[in-house]
C-alpha cells in the first residue's frame, strides 16, 4: 500500500493563478480531509468528505474548492491564488479513528 499520496511536493504560484493539489489514497477509506498548516501553527481543516459525492466545508474553506468523484481521489482546487494561501497542505484519510496523512505540498504564492 502506498497510503496517501500527494502531488506536487512543492509549487510556486503567481498571484491570480490557479492550480489543483492532487490527493489519492489506496486504503479504501471513506473519509478524506484537506488541512493547511501555516508557519508555527497547527493544522486547520479546509474541506472534508465522508464518501464519494459528499463534501463539506471546514474551518477555512474560502478560496478553495473540492470534489470527490471516486473513493480514492480528493483534489483541492485553488482559484485566484493569493499570498495568504502560502502554506503547507496536507491530505488525510481515515476509516475510523486514525487519520493517515500524506507527505504534504508546500505552496508559495508570490
Partner 1 sequence: AQTVTQSQPEMSVQEAETVTLSCTYDTSESNYYLFWYKQPPSRQMILVIRQEAYKQQNATENRFSVNFQKAAKSFSLKISDSQLGDTAMYFCAFMKPFRSGNTPLVFGKGTRLSVIA
Site size for partner 1 (CB under 8 A): 23
Joined together, the cell numbers standing for residue 98 give 486514525
- For residue 20, give Cα distances in angstroms to 8, 61, 64: 9, 15, 10
Give the Cα separation of 15 and 4 in Å (integer). 29
Kindly state the smallest distance separating residue 54's Cβ from partner 1, in Å: 11
Q: Does 67 bind partner 1 (CB under 8 A)?
A: no
Q: Of the candidates 2, 14, 62, 96, which one interacts with partner 1 according to CB under 8 A?
A: 96
47: Cβ contacts below 8 Å, ≥ 6 apart = 33, 34, 55, 56, 57, 58, 61, 64, 66, 76
Angle at 28 between CA 72 and CA 32, to 5 degrees: 60
Tell me: does residue 91 bind partner 1 (CB under 8 A): no
Residues 3-42 within binding reach of partner 1 (CB under 8 A): 31, 33, 35, 40-42
- Smallest distance, partner 1 to C-beta of residue 77, A: 19
Q: Which residues in this chain contact partner 1 in the complex, by CB under 8 A?
A: 31, 33, 35, 40-45, 48, 50, 58, 88, 90, 92, 94, 96-99, 101, 103-104
Amino acid at each position: 500500500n502506498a497510503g496517501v499520496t500527494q502531488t506536487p511536493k512543492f509549487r510556486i504560484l503567481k498571484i491570480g493563478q490557479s492550480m489543483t493539489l492532487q490527493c489519492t489514497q489506496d486504503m479504501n477509506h471513506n473519509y478524506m480531509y484537506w488541512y493547511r498548516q501555516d508557519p508555527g501553527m497547527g493544522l486547520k481543516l479546509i474541506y472534508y468528505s465522508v464518501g464519494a459525492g459528499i463534501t463539506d466545508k471546514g474551518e477555512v474553506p474560502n478560496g478553495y474548492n473540492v470534489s470527490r468523484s471516486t473513493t480514492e481521489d480528493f483534489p483541492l482546487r485553488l482559484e485566484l491564488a493569493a499570498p495568504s494561501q502560502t502554506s503547507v497542505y496536507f491530505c488525510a484519510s481515515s476509516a475510523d479513528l486514525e487519520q493517515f496523512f500524506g507527505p504534504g505540498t508546500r505552496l508559495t504564492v508570490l
